Structure 1
Amino acid sequence: MRARGIAALTAALGLLCVPARAEARDISRDTLATDDGWAAYGTGTTGGAAADDAHVYTVTDRAGLVRALDGGSDTPKIIKIAGTIDAGTDDEGHRLDCADYATDGYRTKKYLAAYDPRTWGSAKPSGPQEEARQASAAAQAERIVLTVGSNTTLVGLGDSAVLKGASLQVRNADNVILRNLDLRDAYDCFPVWQPNTGGLGDWKTAYDNIWLTGATHVWVDHVTASDQGRPDSAEPTYFARNYLRHDGLLDITNGSDLVTVSWSRFVGHDKAMLIGSGDTATGDRGKLRVTLHHNQFESVVQRAPRVRFGQVHVYDNRYVVPEGAEYRYSLGVSTESAVHAENNAFHTPAHVEVADLVKSWNGTALHQSGTLFNDWPVDLLAIYNAYNSGSERDLTADVGWAPTLHGKIDSAAVADREVARGAGAGRIP
């Protein structure tokens, strides 16, 4: 009687019963769709979907993550990251800073004094301070480099899974899924001075947020990668060059192949994505087949991506250059690259021109169609060739292949809206 009375009173007062919030869908055993880009080719990409219950882990700290990764073993495994994990911690979870890694007498001031070009010259650094730098760098790498092995799914739980200060490295592994992760600040405490780089010398850093090297069948989805917290723009200048602390956000090199990168955000960085190791790395021929779709490149200076050798399908991506941001180019066309770009949308301030979006180093071809530039349809290839007439070799439209592995390709206008709403960690529907 009492229960019926409460129900009647509730109805009389016009109160509504609000259902409990539904539990988030378990995405940990999701596999790549059979047509979703190059990573779907052949055997496809299933990650750790075949893992037994004993190899499904939920981790909340670095120590737990390291145990679950099992040294990069190829045992099928699913690793779920809950909350924020900081890779730069000791075994008890205490935060480590650069001074904790420094060893053998390394000091930044001593290093700068030892290799000042005015006294050292243009020779490659050597001697006690460079040896100390290498030892210190090795100590840092031991903590922050996390190796992901074959048949692994590494996935964030909910909308707040963060991995700070780590370099996820997929080395000579096959069948890997990385999803729903906010990857921040792969910070190098010990950059090396390279006197002969770029004519003026430059600082070289060691760590990408994600590095695929010799990796095959990899799906990177709904990942956010950034330098959040410690941007290179805030670093000092030494030897008239910015003291860089970050390398790439996602680099795909050394014969990696069959990769799909989807619905991800690459934010606030200089050199975002390199596909290909170097102009002389001819072993990459026939490999580096990569699909990039529905990603957002935001406040990225260059390499979105830069490609050598690979057959790369770049479609339905969104590029945002904020007012006042440094910008060089987006699509880098390098040695023997075959980039097929379609239906991408670019948003830039007034000082960026259409011809700035493409940069060529020994490249010969670029397919492009359906491009929007500040909401206007443009032909990137025609404008690039016209702008660079007489100074650089024209790019042809024939890249020698046409993509067949892909889902529905939306117009650039539709993709622009969808990517703005749905790309990045914490946004899997």
Structure 2
Amino acid sequence: MTRRTTALATALTACAALALAGGGPAHAAEPGRDTLPARDGWASADGGTTGGAAADAAHTYTVTTWDQLRSALADDPGAPRIVRVKGTLNAATAGCASYAADGYDFARYLADYDPAVWGRDRPVSGVQEDLRAASQRNQATAVKAYVPADTTLVGVGKHAGITGGSLQIAHTHNVIVRNLTVESPLDCFPQWDPTDGATGAWNSEYDGMVVTGSTHVWLDHNTFTDGAHPDSSLPSYYGELYQQHDGELDVVRGADLVTVSWNVFADHDKTLMIGNSDGAAATDRGRLRVTLHHNLFRDVTERAPRVRFGKVDAYNNHYLAGPGTPYAYSFGIGIESQLVAEKNAVTLPAGTGAGRVLKRWKDAPVTAAGNLVDGRPADLIALHNAEFPAEPLRSGAGWTPTLRPRVDDPRAVPGLVGHRAGAGRLR
């Protein structure tokens, strides 16, 4: 080896080490070749997450339509792949009417299940409910795309994304998704549930992205948003919001070893759920290990995240709820959860008590240390227990996270995350 070659190799090694020390990947010639750095959250454990970095030229795709994306994901099963998304892919160009089952009539549905006619003490059933469910299944077939193992899905440039579609990372492994703006899909056929709460509720399907039963998943520098269809634009029926959104991201049904870093979650109600059911101990206990770091949760109402069962490490995130945000809580403490929430920054609407940052759904221990609320140190557990003495939280999650490439002072987090998180901001 020549002296010049040796010097070049040494320099490249040093650059890679600096990149890893800074918490970001050592960039290859294109972001599609990036892999998750060592010790960067739960997805770096047990062999790490490389996605489609090993893909050859024949399995490197550039797609500009939803159909091309689904074809690229389905092509040659088992091969590592890189799928580069160029522009915005619209999964819903066919429109709601194209999914409707023969005989489905929304006006008839509203008349049949009006609480004045149906009541509020039993779930809806009958012809129109069956047709609604069939219509919803038709839409699901059109708007879901399944991401296979050993895949990197990455946006090209600053304006790549998906609208109207639901990315399914289902029962697979080793997946990377980066640099995409994912606009929450609209469910054309929400279900009316008169038994949901005191006055009933409309419930919808289709999360922007779902990690279900999968391992080693890295979601980085994406933006999740309701985009052109915020809840404020949706109508109401029976006196309740006609909710056409589900979650922005769900990690559920035995998913494990997931790192969610440098994303933006914006303008949404039920944002991020880790563990979908209190009754899922058989699949979820010992799994649902998820790291959330350097994410911006902007003007979201709740579930940022709501946790069941999992060992979740949430640090250096910024929870920013501006004026007018219908803020409920940020961290939901659920059954058998072991949440560690450290060195996060929280900015609340004026008049909102800091005790609401945590919400107890079920008794479970939680570690909350070094957090700031409105720029001031805050003992989130003590504040919660003082504001909600009938729902006390226990301190001490029972484990100490070690897979953290960097931990920033929470005073710096709003600036760091504000300038670097989200799609279009890959370095």
Task: Name the TM-score, length of structure 1 as normaliser.
Answer: 0.90
Which range is displaced more, 189-198 or 153-162?
189-198
Question: Pairwise mapping of residues 58-73 of structure 1 onto structure 2 (< 5 A)?
Answer: 58-70=62-74, 73=77
Checking the alignment, whether the CA contact within 8 Å between 1:71 and 1:147 is kept in structure 2 is no
Deviates more, 1:137-146 or 1:174-183: 137-146
Distance 1:73 1:377 in 2: 51
What secondary structure does 2:140 align onto?
Answer: helix
- Which amino acid is 1:108 matched to? F
Distance change >3 Å, CA 71–CA 212, structure 1 → 2: farther
**What pairs with 1:279-428 in structure 2 (closer than 5 Å)?**
279-283=278-282, 284-389=284-389, 391-392=390-391, 394-428=392-426
1:72–1:305 distance in 2 versus 1, CA, 3 Å? farther
Question: Is 2:46 the counterpart of 1:42?
Answer: yes
| Per-residue deviation, 1:347 | 1.1
> CA 1:207 to 1:323, structure 2 compared with 1: closer, same or farther past 3 Å?
same
Partner residue in 2 for 1:269: 268
Q: Could you say what secondary structure the match of 2:395 adopts?
A: coil
| Partner residue in 2 for 1:101 | 99
Aligned-partner residue type, residue 53 of structure 1: A
Q: 1:132 to 1:177 in 2, by over 3 A?
A: same
Residues 176, 219 of structure 1: 8 Å contact kept: yes
Structure 2 Cα separation of the partners of residues 201 and 113 of structure 1:
16
Q: Is 1:245 the equivalent of 2:244?
A: yes
Percent identity among equivalent residues? 46
How many equivalent residue pairs? Answer: 398
Amino acid of the structure 2 residue aligned with 1:157: V
Counterpart CA distance in 2 for 1:43 and 1:117 is 54
Runs of 4+ in 1 over 4 A off after TM superposition: none
The residue type equivalent to 1:243 in the other structure is: Y
What is residue 19 of structure 2 aligned with on the other side? Answer: none
Q: CA deviation at 1:281?
A: 1.1
Instruction: Report SS of the residue matched to 2:192.
Output: strand
Deviation string for 1:223-255 (max 9, x for gaps)?
A: 000110111222122122211001000001101
Look up the SS of the partner of 1:146 in the other structure.
strand
Q: Which runs of 5+ in 2 are unaligned?
A: 1-27
* Alpha-carbon distance in structure 1 between the residues aligned to 2:364 and 2:134: 42
CA contact (8 A) 2:184 2:248 kept: no
Q: Aligned pair in 2 of structure 1 residues 96, 139: CA closer, same or farther (>3 Å)?
A: same
Letter in 2 for 1:77: R
Q: CA deviation at 1:167?
A: 0.4
Which amino acid in structure 2 is aligned with residue 341 of structure 1?
A
SS in 2 for 1:160: coil
Pairing 1:55–2:54 present: no
Per-residue deviation, residues 284-305 of structure 1 (Å, max 9, x unmatched): 1100000000000001000000
- TM-score under structure 2 normalisation? 0.91
Residue 278 of structure 2 aligns to a residue in which SS?
Answer: coil
Deviates more, 1:414-423 or 1:123-132: 123-132
> What is the CA-CA distance between 1:353 and the residue it aligns to?
1.2
Contact 2:316 2:407 in 1 (8 A): yes
Structure 2 counterpart of 1:66, one-letter code: R
1:86 and 2:90 correspond: yes
Q: Distance in 2 between matches of 1:333 and 1:232?
A: 25
TM-superposed deviation, 1:70: 0.4
Give distance in 2, aligned partners of 1:53 and 1:133. 44
Counterpart mapping for 1:21-36 below 5 A:
26-36=30-40
Q: Which residue of 1 aligns with 2:184?
A: 185
Preserved contact between residue 177 and residue 220 of structure 1 (Cα < 8 Å) = yes
Q: Matched residue of 2:259: which SS?
A: strand
Give 3-state SS (helix, strand or coil) of 2:154's partner.
Answer: strand
C-alpha displacement at 1:72, in angstroms? 9.7
For residues 259 and 77 of structure 2, the distance between their equivalents in structure 1, rounded to whole angstroms, comes to 22
| CA positional deviation for 1:145 | 0.5
Alpha-carbon distance in structure 2 between the residues aligned to 1:344 and 1:71: 41
Partner of residue 212, structure 1:
211
Q: Highest CA radius of gyration, 1 or 2? A: 1
